[in-house]
Copies of this chain bind each other. A is one copy, B any other.
Amino acid sequence: MREGAMPRRGGRPTVYDVAERAGVSIATVSFVFKQPGRVRDTTRADVLRAARELGYVPSASARGLANGSTGALGLYSFDMLLETAKFVSGLPSGPAEEPDPRSFPLYVDEVQRGFELECWQQGMALLLSAERSSGVSVMAGVAGRVDGLAVFPGAISTEELELTARAIPVLAFSRAPQDGAVHYVTVDNRGGVRALLAHLVDVHGVRQTRFVGAPVLPDLAERFAGYQEASARTAVPDDAPPVGAEGAGRPSSRLSWRRGAPGRAVVRERPARSHGAGRAARPGGGRPG
């Protein structure tokens, strides 16, 4: 319980300061910002003026705590120093002695930009963060600050994804769909590569092709599968090992890129469980209207 409504420490101004300055109660101050119509015009003006004079900025923490949601979505991506780069690209790149942020996977930018745009249009804040190869999971730290979380493929275990999904909606990019609460989204990698090869052969008359990259991730595996399906049309036998397969950083055991592997690339969505009092974020969701 505050003693009256003292300006308190030297911190940022709060509703109490604004209320005191405007000669009203904190409830009124809150109303002015959340339900303007509920306050008399003159009162509202007083409050707004006081707020501006004080440089009042509402605390998102308090706000989030009070209404149970943060108003932000999270995007969790790769280790920013690319210590997992070769795992991502599937290409051998030697033990990068000095990680260079500039070699960050470029496609990430595009996806990220799209995410930013959507958040922007939805009026949601975007919280960016990335995995750290060293140290504990940062995911938990992120999950606590957002209403929903999208995750790039990486070192995050499915178990941890599912765990996080118990707290907030989680969307995993290009991951093999699993049973659980996590949402998965991917693209038709197989068909894409087939079309690509068909184009190269039919339109450009290419006769020599080779698949470059180690199919250690679902996406790459799918692409390799598509490559094999279509490679009968090229001069390269479809059992030629993909370039870089041997040199891949982690000899990943989580995926066997056997011939004719099952599972078409697919977009799989699970209905979000209701979290709390019906709140629900929609990472990657459609636009309104």
Contact = CB atoms under 8 A, between A and B. Distances in A.
Interface of A: 9-13, 52, 54-65, 68, 70, 72, 80-81, 101, 104, 109, 113-114, 116-117, 119-121, 125-130, 132, 140-145, 163-164, 166-168, 274-277
Contact of A9 (B11, B57, B132, B276): B276
Given A10-B274, A58-B144, A61-B60, A125 B125 contact: no
17 contacts: A10-B276, A10-B277, A11-B275, A11-B277, A12-B275, A58-B144, A59-B64, A61-B61, A61-B63, A61-B64, A61-B70, A65-B65, A80-B117, A101-B113, A101-B117, A116-B130, A125-B142
Given A12-B275, A65-B65, A60 B55 contact: no
A280 B185 CA distance: 40
Nearest to A120: B80
A130 B120 contact: yes
Contacts of A132: 120
How many chain copies? 2
Contact of A109 (B56, B109, B277): B109
A149 B29 CA distance: 25
A70 B80 contact: no
A114 B81 CA distance: 11
A74 to B, nearest CB: 9
The 5 residue pairs across chains A and B that have the minimum distance between CB atoms:
A55-B166, A61-B64, A60-B145, A11-B276, A57-B167
Contacts of A10: 274-277
Contacts of A164: 55, 57
From A12, A72, A145, residue with most partner B Cβ within 10 Å = A145
A251 to B, nearest CB: 28
A148 to B, nearest CB: 13
A56 B142 CA distance: 13
